[in-house]
Amino acid sequence: MKSEQIKEITEKATDQLVAALDQGRSETLTAYLKAIGRFHRYSLHNVMLIALQKPNASHVAGFRTWNQLGRFVKKGEKGIMILAPALRRKEEENEEPIETTPAVAGFRSAYVFDITQTDGKELPAIGTVQCDPRDCTVRLQAFAKKQGISFEYSDQIARARGVSYGGRVVLLPGQPHARIERFPKEPHWNPVSTL
């Protein structure tokens, strides 16, 4: 795909958003903001491209990435075009041995597929609590201690409920115990696409 075509597609997505906002239809902006939240590892242009081509997309990845996860793209499915950096090796001029670092030479079109366009092995459910939260806290504290991470409580972090830095985990005291929530059998997974 030529750069003019790519520019035209991204401008079309932006123009559609502006037109919808001018007409007072904030649901279009809401849809784009939801897409940004789902695909936070993608650039704004790629999020707009995904939302324009497949508004209900939830989890996208490249063909090979789906295969590595034990899933395959269904026959006849059309990929979602995004922009991927075209890298070239740039030689550093130093007195030391020549080292090459990748530099962005431009962009090329690449295709990703939504999970609804795939079949295969179930994805792991991430973010579900599998035990009583009180027991989990004790287990997490023990695990942190084994890793050499200190675990403490402090009012000094107020407004934040917890922070982690430099081998320390600090929690705001008096937090209510976590609730155990039962999630539906939908995968809670946010892959990083490898193109």
pTM here is 0.53
pLDDT tens-digit series, residues 3-37: 677 678 778 777 877 887 788 777 777 777 777 77
- Quickly state the pLDDT bin for 70 (edges 50, 70, 90): very high
Tokens of 169: 């985990």
Q: Is the pLDDT of residue 76 over 80?
A: yes
Phi, psi at 174, each rounded to 5°: 80, 15
Tokens of 6: 């790519």
**3-state SS, one letter per residue, for 59-101:** CEEEHHHHHHCCEEECCCCCCEEEEEEEEEEEECCCCCCCCEE
Tokens of 174: 């008096």
pLDDT tens-digit series, residues 157-180: 888 888 888 888 888 888 766 554
pLDDT tens-digit series, residues 77-121: 999 999 888 887 766 555 565 556 677 777 888 999 999 999 999
Q: Is the pLDDT of residue 67 over 60?
A: yes
